[in-house]
């Protein structure tokens, strides 16, 4: 086993969040402000998943005060404290970039029953 393989195995989280595209999730992120550290929640719809393995990421989108906000979270990041699935979405696409052009109720994703 070479050194690179050992490094990647040590960095991958054991309890990876099982999020799918279309899910509404609440991501708890650790934020460091000077000496203090706090947890901030970011809630929105998962619009994309990328890569795999150690570099796996997912993009979460929400509208805040009328402005669309997107954040990309690495799955294996130590700053991502927890990911809670609020509801599962019913989608027919792997990427939901079409939601960027929609506002209000048109930007909603139907719930999977």
Residue 39 belongs to domain spanning? 3-101
Q: Which CATH number characterizes residue 10's domain?
A: 2.30.30.790
Residue 71 lies in a domain: yes
Residue 9 has pLDDT above 80, yes or no: no
Q: How many domains does the chain fold into? A: 1
Residue 52 has a pLDDT of 83
| pLDDT mean over 94-98 | 97
Residue 106 lies in a domain: no
Residue 63 lies in a domain: yes
Residue 97 lies in a domain: yes
| pLDDT mean over 16-37 | 94
Residue 23 lies in a domain: yes
Residue 109 lies in a domain: no
For the beta sheet containing 80-87, the strands, ordered from the edge strand earlier in sequence to the opposite edge, are 67-74, 57-64, 36-50, 24-33, 80-87
- pLDDT, tens digit, 9 for 90 and up, residues 70-86: 999 999 999 999 999 99
Residue 112 lies in a domain: no
Residue 2 has pLDDT above 60, yes or no: yes
Binned at pLDDT 50, 70 and 90, residue 61 comes out as very high
Binned at pLDDT 50, 70 and 90, residue 47 comes out as very high
């Amino acid at each position: 086993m070479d050194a690179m393989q050992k490094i990647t195995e040590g960095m991958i989280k054991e309890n990876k969040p099982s999020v799918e595209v279309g899910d509404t999730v609440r991501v708890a992120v650790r934020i460091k402000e000077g000496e203090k550290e706090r947890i901030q929640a970011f809630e929105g719809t998962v619009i994309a998943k990328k890569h795999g393995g150690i570099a796996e990421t997912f993009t979460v989108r929400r509208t805040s005060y009328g402005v669309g906000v997107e954040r990309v979270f690495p799955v294996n990041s130590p700053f991502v404290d927890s990911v809670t699935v609020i509801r599962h979405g019913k989608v027919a696409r792997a990427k939901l970039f079409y939601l960027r052009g929609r506002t209000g109720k048109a930007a909603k994703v139907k719930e999977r029953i």
